[in-house]
Amino acid sequence: MTSTSPVPLPTSIDATLALLKSGDYVADRALATVLFLALKMGRPVLLEGEAGVGKTEIAKVLAKALGRNLIRLQCYEGLDVAAAVYEWNYAGQMIAIRLAEAEGSVDREQLSSGIFSERYLVKRPLLQALAPDLRGPPVLLIDELDRTDEAFEAYLLEVLSDFQVTVPELGTIKAPAPPIVIVTSNRTREIHDALKRRCLYHWVDYPDAARELAILKAKAPGAPERLSKEIVAFVQQLRKTELFKVPGVAETIDWATALTELDAVGLDPQGVTDTLGVLLKYQDDIQKMQGGEAKAILDAVKAGR
């Protein structure tokens, strides 16, 4: 966007649905309600659900539709304050100290306050999200929080409660206006109650057939209508099968795109077998489907069951 004018927040649930739809995100009303309330109340949102159901995409669509910056903190095991919040530019500080020593006029107190100033502060995602922005508070995506340990989760409490960060050498840095915070979790471990209480909560489930078809029309518009319908019916049945990892919406979109690239107009046994690696990500699941199970599901789809 070239304009720095802030985009108004949606004023109703229907407006929130329309906002998401403008970014090709097909949401249900329950999700739109939670997002509307979060924007209205200035509260973070905790989105939990299986991988691939579109949790991360929600933050991306909100940032684009509202014309805000998207600041993403990708969580991982061992994530610490230096990577997530801030660290000091030690190399720059050392150069400043050496230059002061070379000039022969070293006032220790003045030097200390100089090197521990914002000039040498390296801002990481959480601190960046607290900075003022002409386009309005940014969208802060804290992605896959369940991958971090409980110590880092505890650190987030100050950020999500008061939207501020304490830097010992500088004091407390507080956001002029709360960022729009989206926290996601694949629920590989439970998020602590203290953090959940600071958030509005929504479980992002697999879509029903009608909504998944609408998603395909938005995300894979080149797929023939018959192919899209058969893909959705196949995936919906596949999710009822005992697999190590059932396919998410992201895999459905990838499969539709792949089959379209292969000029398929509908599903057939050979095409399904040849492209299972797009839909399924574990060899045991692929081997299971390469037997009679995939054919049985396909036969049911063709029969309209």
Residue 113, pLDDT score: 67
Residue 101, pLDDT score: 75
Residue 4, pLDDT score: 55
Report the predicted TM-score, pTM, of the whole model to 2 decimal places: 0.88
58 pLDDT more than 50: yes
119 pLDDT more than 70: yes
174 pLDDT more than 50: yes
Between the alpha carbon of residue 267 and those of residues 240, 255, 259, 274, the distances in Å are 19, 11, 9, 11
Paired with 73 in beta bridges are 142
As a whole number, mean pLDDT of residues 253-273 equals 95
Rounded Cα gap, residues 180 and 7, in angstroms:
13
For residue 291, the Cα-to-chain-centroid distance in whole angstroms is 35
224's CB contacts (< 8 A; 6+ apart) are 260, 264, 265, 266
Give the model confidence (pLDDT) of 31-50 as tens digits. 999 999 999 999 999 999 99
Are 181 and 142 in contact, with CB atoms under 8 Å apart?
A: yes
Return the percentage of the chain with pLDDT > 90, whole number.
75
Residue 141, pLDDT score: 98
Q: Tell me the pLDDT of the chain averaged across its residues.
A: 91
- Write a three-state SS string for 120-153: HEEECHHHHCCCCCCCCCCEEEEECHHHCCHHHH
6 pLDDT more than 90: no
> pLDDT class for 2, splitting at 50, 70, 90?
very low
279 pLDDT more than 50: yes
The single residue listed with the structure tokens 């249900």 is 28
As a whole number, mean pLDDT of residues 245-271 equals 95
Give the model confidence (pLDDT) of 79-115 as tens digits. 999 999 999 999 988 888 887 777 766 666 676 667 8
165 pLDDT more than 70: yes
Rounded Cα gap, residues 38 and 54, in angstroms:
18
Return the percentage of the chain with pLDDT > 70, whole number.
95
66's CB contacts (< 8 A; 6+ apart) are 7, 9, 19, 136, 139, 180
154 pLDDT more than 80: yes
Q: How many CB atoms lie within 10 A of CB 129?
A: 28
Buried b or exposed e, range 227-253, using 16+ CB within 10 angstroms: bbbbbbbbbbbbeeeebeebbbbebbb
Pairing outcome for strands 171-174 and 164-167:
antiparallel
Residue 118, pLDDT score: 87
In three-state secondary structure terms, 25 is coil
Residue 3, pLDDT score: 47
133 pLDDT more than 80: yes
Helices and strands (H and E) in the chain: how many: 16, 9
201's CB contacts (< 8 A; 6+ apart) are 34, 45, 46, 48
One-character DSSP codes across 258-277: HHHHTT-SS--HHHHHHTHH
As a whole number, mean pLDDT of residues 179-188 equals 96
Rounded Cα gap, residues 35 and 10, in angstroms:
10
